[in-house]
Structure 1
Amino acid sequence: MNGVPIIYWIRRDLRLSDHPGLTAVAATGRPIIPVFIHDDLVATHGAAPKWRLGLGVKHFNKVLDGIGSRLILRRGSALDVLRDLVSQTGAGAVHWTRAYDPAAIARDADVKASLKTDGLDVVSHTGHLLFEPWSVETKTGGFYKVFTPMWKAVRGSDLDPALLPVTHLQAPDQWPASDDIKAWKMGAAMQRGADIVAKHVCVGEQAAQNRLEMFIENKVVDYSVARDIPSVDGTSRLSENLTYGEISPRSCWHAGWQALRNGKADAEIFLKELVWREFAYHLAYHTPRIISQNWREEWDGFPWQGDGDQTLRWKQGRTGIQLVDAAMREMYVTGTMHNRGRMIVASYLTKHMMTHWQVGLDWFEDCLIDWDPASNAMGWQWAAGSGPDAAPYFRIFNPDTQAEKFDKSKSYRAKFIKELFDDYGQEAQNYYRAIPRSWGLSAKDDYPSPLVALDIGRQRALDAYKNR
């Protein structure tokens, strides 16, 4: 079998370092054919994540070229594409890194069963998570439904060291044909926003490793405080790279623990954030309804409102609530949003506006370059109260109080809201350059009055929760 090629199906694992699957197939000495497939799941991605994924794929192709390999690009049904490649290359095996959201699991199960029926060796590998969802159990044998007990269970885990980078992949005698990624137009839906957001992306494995190193050396020491201040660059920003597999969670885990051993106590909070991501996938695997339905089924009859004119103002960052609007505008300019901003805009939409959390979930899926199916779903359900939280009833963020506490200098709001501040920044102007022309907004517009007054919205939400 030494001369029989192996196809490696690249998905959200765009790296060479600490890549268990690529390391395993490289060790065989057999020809390796990496392939990325623009399949039905990729086609459903929103504008920003699809565009950002395209940037990552294009970059990874160059990385593979640097070790004597290349990334074959194909579009179509994953099963059909893989079967076609097997026919063309004589490959005897197909490998990939596991995914854990329900749609990917269903696709992969079908592909694996079908290819095995064809007589192929089919292997899936770890690498996207720290812990396989079925490997972390409560003392009674079930899965975790609350984060803190799960954190305590995995905190002391002694994970294997991160794997060294793959430095060579044996090339086949003849490469199969590949699509031109430009023809896929993965950034088409971004329209003019791409030029603005492009200034803020951090693409590729080396950039991700540099980002981690910079965070551990300079930021993690103040992480407990700085991570809550949206005007401060106090977070790791690694969510963008983790979602595309440009860095492994295990590399982040070991860097965090080393910082903790070196006396940087705030590194433990960073480690908790890594496990929060694990918790999201843990729930997505064991309770897949969290992706698209109320995790708590008793919320199915709650009187949510749907999408509409009021929701459009929320999407535009024109609710008249300054911190909400600043956070929404940050998303259009940078492709990301500070985590405190995410909590506040989600709370305002689902509680003050009484709008269904799925409206916000879908909008984030369209606009965030760091969109992650499990984290996005759990975050929105946590904010709405329908998710994994023991006491969602009392958590209604007051954006004005939050602004006074976490943006007292108003520097974050001034950075993104031109209408209110004489000392507004370039990003406040870029908001108007990034948003859809169809919104008909201008930098000359006045700032709007509040869409829903905070006291009225809070009381309405509390009344609805009491009567649900």
Structure 2
Amino acid sequence: MTTLLWFRRDLRLSDHSALTAACKHGPVVPVFIRDAGLDALGTAPKWRLGLSVAALAETLDAAGSRLILRSGAPAEVLSALARETGATRIHCVRAYHPEEPSLDFELCESFTAQDIVFETFDGRVLFEPDSVETKSGGPYKVFSPYWKSVKSRDIAAPLKVPSEIPTPADWPDTENLDDWALGRGMQRGAEVVLGHTSPGETAAQDRLAAFIDDAVADYHKRRDLPAVDGTSGMSEYLTYGEISPRQCWHAGLRAREEGKRGAEDFLRELGWREFAYHLMVHMPRLLTGNWREKWDGFPWKDDERAAEIKAWKQGRTGIPLVDAGMREMYVTGRMHNRVRMITASYLTKHLLTDWKVGLRWFEDCLTDWDPASNAMGWQWVAGSGPDASPYFRVFNPETQREKFDPDGAYVNRWIAEGQSDPPDTALAYFEAIPKRWNMSPDDPYPEPVVALDEGRQRALDAYSNRSF
């Protein structure tokens, strides 16, 4: 009664419904597949996924099991492994990207015809997208009523790690993770970013525990301050399933019961992630085109070779808070959420650039890249998406800096030019970027590529000629 346990973006052993169920049937053969979807990932997410797979393999080894690595189309890989192992069941955690549910349906039909049980389990989201609907029966399009409808739902307690993972008498052959070279595209930046990431389930649990013990109490006050460690840091771990949303949810509930004020805000942020998946499942256009179709004719620029766009990507716009955010992303693989909004607003409004240009750059540079959250965030800022800020609202990076980084600690942490003794974090940017960019910390800090008042007025003029 061998079961193939197909790991996807659920790279953990705790609170893993598919694993728990598999252990009840007999021997379990864990497998991770390098498929076309993995190969299509951006540079940083692909590299970070490789670190997560390596961490999972170590965890399984410590538990007396092992992780089998194979490359190819899932149907072919799983069929081959079923023949090699005599597996009668295949388990995996349910996926929600528009292409994945149809794949799972096809796999289920195919394996059922072969007398092999193909079963999917929960674990990627808190609320199954099809289980949340408006009173009229359709999907929600606005976050507030969505949140109101789900926030009081009972969420099952997280599952513990199985006491034993049954093993087969013989293990099938496995490929070598190093041969996949998932970090090739990072080049010299890999060593820099590696110092700012701690992959794996153990690190995820430690980070959550530390956040709940301390920072969550003031989360509502500190989460918008980019110079302090005031956020949960869970986005990267949730991206690869090194921790489950259910584990985060129950930790937040416990903190709320203990009277920690910021816990409610933390739970709401988990709700935002759920809303993004809800929209992606019901309205997959969110990922590729303007959610509000009236924006389809808006005259955004999309020439990625343009000097202004190049300056934005390289953190050389001449606007300190924007540049600091872009450099933080290149050094750490992440960017503070408040600064993400500001950098996105600057690109789409001051530079009148198509939000998809920014989405693609984040997709290549963020180690916590998530297709649903990334797309919803970009469209929210641009004004073309659901729950968007008023399209005519243009974030002013200078007033935002004065409010959220008044002493310049964040900006100075990431921008070396102009400092007599810049910190290592600022200098690390020049170690991570491609040499062809020809940048040096000794360069003068650039003048703004567009003055803030000029860029704001240009955006408002463009909006005034449209009917939204």
Q: Normalised by the shorter chain, which TM-score bucket?
A: over 0.9
Match of 1:336 in 2: 334
SS in 2 for 1:96: strand
* Residues 317-396 of structure 1 aligned to structure 2 (within 5 Å): 317-389=315-387, 391-396=389-394
Amino acid at match of 1:289: R
RMSD: 1.1
Match of 2:116 in 1: 120
How far apart are the structure 2 equivalents of 1:294 and 1:438? 34
SS in 2 for 1:148: helix
Deviations 1:144-190 (A, max 9, x none): 11111111111111211111112321111111000000000000001
**Superposition misfits of 4+ residues, deviation over 3 angstroms:** none
CA contact (8 A) 2:3 2:88 kept: yes
CA contact (8 A) 2:380 2:389 kept: no
Q: State the Cα distance separating 1:422 from its structure 2 match.
A: 3.1
CA contact (8 A) 1:97 1:125 kept: yes
Amino acid at match of 1:102: P
CA contact (8 A) 1:414 1:420 kept: no
Q: Which moved more, 1:397-406 or 1:419-428?
A: 419-428
Deviations 1:307-332 (A, max 9, x none): 22221110000000100000000001
* Residues 206-225 of structure 1 aligned to structure 2 (within 5 Å): 206-225=202-221
Asked if 1:7 corresponds to 2:9, the answer is: no
SS in 1 for 2:219: helix
Amino acid at match of 2:295: W
How far apart are the structure 1 equivalents of 2:219 and 2:163? 34
Q: State the Cα distance separating 1:117 from its structure 2 match.
A: 3.1
How far apart are the structure 2 equivalents of 1:304 and 1:18? 44
Please report the TM-score for the alignment, with normalisation by the length of structure 1: 0.97
Q: State the Cα distance separating 1:439 from its structure 2 match.
A: 1.2
Provide structure 2 residue ranges, at least 5 long, that are not aligned to the other structure: none
* Residues 252-271 of structure 1 aligned to structure 2 (within 5 Å): 252-271=248-267
Q: State the Cα distance separating 1:391 from its structure 2 match.
A: 4.7
Match of 2:36 in 1: 40
How far apart are the structure 2 equivalents of 1:106 and 1:292? 18
Deviations 1:98-133 (A, max 9, x none): 111113334333333332333321100000100100
Amino acid at match of 1:356: D
Amino acid at match of 1:429: L
CA contact (8 A) 2:381 2:388 kept: no
CA contact (8 A) 1:67 1:167 kept: no
Asked if 1:467 corresponds to 2:465, the answer is: yes
CA contact (8 A) 2:92 2:120 kept: yes
Deviations 1:10-65 (A, max 9, x none): 0111111111111111122x111110000000000111111110001011011111
CA contact (8 A) 2:379 2:388 kept: no
Asked if 1:25 corresponds to 2:22, the answer is: yes
Amino acid at match of 1:18: D
Which of 293, 300, 310 pairs up with 2:296?
300
How far apart are the structure 1 equivalents of 2:41 and 2:104? 17
Deviations 1:370-410 (A, max 9, x none): 11111011011111111002552232110001000001000
* Residues 126-141 of structure 1 aligned to structure 2 (within 5 Å): 126-141=122-137
How far apart are the structure 1 equivalents of 2:20 and 2:269? 27
CA contact (8 A) 2:218 2:261 kept: no
Match of 2:311 in 1: 313
Asked if 1:234 corresponds to 2:225, the answer is: no
Which of 79, 83, 93 pairs up with 1:97?
93
Q: State the Cα distance separating 1:423 from its structure 2 match.
A: 4.6
Amino acid at match of 2:440: S
Cα 1:117–1:312 shift into 2, 3 Å: farther
Match of 2:418 in 1: 420
How far apart are the structure 2 equivalents of 1:206 and 1:391? 37
* Residues 41-190 of structure 1 aligned to structure 2 (within 5 Å): 41-190=37-186
How far apart are the structure 2 equivalents of 1:103 and 1:400? 41
How far apart are the structure 2 equivalents of 1:53 and 1:391? 32
How far apart are the structure 2 equivalents of 1:434 and 1:263? 42
Which of 392, 400, 403 pairs up with 1:402?
400
CA contact (8 A) 1:50 1:187 kept: yes
Q: State the Cα distance separating 1:89 from its structure 2 match.
A: 1.3
Match of 1:275 in 2: 271
Provide structure 1 residue ranges, at least 5 long, that are not aligned to the other structure: none
Amino acid at match of 1:91: A
Amino acid at match of 1:321: I
SS in 2 for 1:449: coil
Q: How many residues align?
A: 464
Q: Which moved more, 1:391-400 or 1:18-27?
A: 391-400
Asked if 1:198 corresponds to 2:197, the answer is: no
How far apart are the structure 2 equivalents of 1:366 and 1:304? 21
Please report the TM-score for the alignment, with normalisation by the length of structure 2: 0.97
Q: Which moved more, 1:147-156 or 1:228-237?
A: 147-156
